[in-house]
Amino acid sequence: MNQLLTSLDELLGTRQMAENVLNWIPNAASAAGILFAYWVVWGLVRRSVKYAALRANLDRTALDFLLTILKYAILSLGVVMALGRLGINTTSLLASIGIAGITVGFAAKDVISNMISGLFIFWDRPFVLGDLVEVGGHYGRVESITMRSTRVVTPDGKMLAVPNSVVINTTVASYTNFPHLRIDIPFAVAVQENLGRVRSILLSMCHQNISLLDEPAPAVIVTDLNDYNVGMQLQVWLDDEEQHIVVRQQLYEQVFEALRKAGVDMPFQTLSLTSVEIERPTTMQD
């Protein structure tokens, strides 16, 4: 030991510093052991919670939130214990962090707002993982819900991170919560058209489409009356929300083709300009 202290004394310049280093090594090893132990504890807790959630039929959204909270709580406690083993006054450190946290909180109010909104999403549960939703003007499948954002995968493969505060303060449309999903296809026909004939054409088209449900039955309704056309809407039902966008796109084309082939006039508003030549008045000369 004396030989080691002498070597460190020559290397670092002072015997006291060498002794401090030697005393610090066991504490550092002990702190690392504490962190490792808490990591093992977290792994055991995670497996136990997942097993309990499976038996209790807890949905993935609630499970992810619970695991996130437990992870940060357990690992934070491990860090505090490890710092204490290194001789750091954790009480003063936590007090300093608390004061700094207040200052940072004012600067990071949006982040805190998103975290609180995430808790509201967890408790209110307007949707769960895997749902098809439209939120903040974006449509897609809910991939994950974190403390800061809700991540949605769009049909074209984009991953969108929608801030939780936006989710809480906007209208959320879910395409998954109910067994049947209705699709509305607006169109217009000329005022002189026979509406009963138009309705018959489109309902016949719907009965030939295997993607659409017979119950609830398809419907064709009048939605608007104008000087130049009659606004109408085809209403059909699906039981597979996965096909929502594809079927909607197909129906727009099918409605147009069915009415065009039947000779139904589908006018749109136009503006006609007529040029009129004005004759100059003639003057009588003496």
Q: What mean pLDDT comes out for the span 163-180? A: 83
Task: Name which CATH class applies to 123-174.
Answer: mainly beta
The per-residue pLDDT of the chain, averaged, comes to: 77
**34-48, 148-162, 181-195 — which one is most confidently predicted on average?**
181-195
Q: How far apart are CA 265 and CA 197, in angstroms?
A: 12
Q: Is the pLDDT of residue 185 over 90?
A: yes
The pTM for the full model equals 0.54
Length of the chain: 286
Q: Is the pLDDT of residue 54 over 90?
A: no
- Poorest-pLDDT segment among 6-10, 28-32, 40-44: 6-10
Q: Give pLDDT, residue 154.
A: 86
The CATH architecture assigned to 181-261 reads 2-Layer Sandwich (3.30)
Specify the amino acid at residue 7: S
Residue 216 tokens read as 């609830």
Among 176, 166, 161, 258, residue whose Cα is nearest residue 209? 258
Q: Give pLDDT, residue 59.
A: 65
Q: Check: CATH 1.10.287.1260 for 2-107?
A: yes
Contacts with 170 (C-beta within 8 Å, 6 or more apart), sequence order: 135, 136
Q: What mean pLDDT comes out for the span 209-229? A: 88
Q: Give pLDDT, residue 98.
A: 56
Q: Give pLDDT, residue 107.
A: 47
Share of the chain above pLDDT 70, in %: 73
Residue 7 tokens read as 């070597």
Q: What mean pLDDT comes out for the span 48-55? A: 77
| SS3 category, 281 | coil
Confidence band (pLDDT; 50, 70, 90) for 120? confident
Q: Are 182 and 200 in contact (CB under 8 A)?
A: no
Q: What is the pLDDT of residues 258-276, one digit of tens each?
A: 999 999 988 876 655 666 6
Q: Pick the more confident residue, 235 or 4.
A: 235
Place of tokens 């999403």: 121
Q: Is the pLDDT of residue 90 over 70?
A: no
Domain extent listing, the chain: 2-107, 123-174, 181-261
Q: Is the pLDDT of residue 131 over 70?
A: yes
Q: Is the pLDDT of residue 284 over 50?
A: yes
Q: Give pLDDT, residue 64.
A: 73
Fold matches, 123-174 and 181-261: no
Confidence band (pLDDT; 50, 70, 90) for 20? low
Confidence band (pLDDT; 50, 70, 90) for 253? very high
- Poorest-pLDDT segment among 31-35, 193-197, 212-216, 261-265: 31-35
Q: In this structure, which long-range contacts are made by residues 223-229, counting pairs with CB atoms below 8 Å and at least 24 apart in sequence?
A: 223/186, 224/188, 226/188, 226/191, 226/269, 227/191, 228/190, 228/191, 228/267, 228/269, 229/188, 229/189, 229/190, 229/191, 229/266, 229/267, 229/268, 229/269
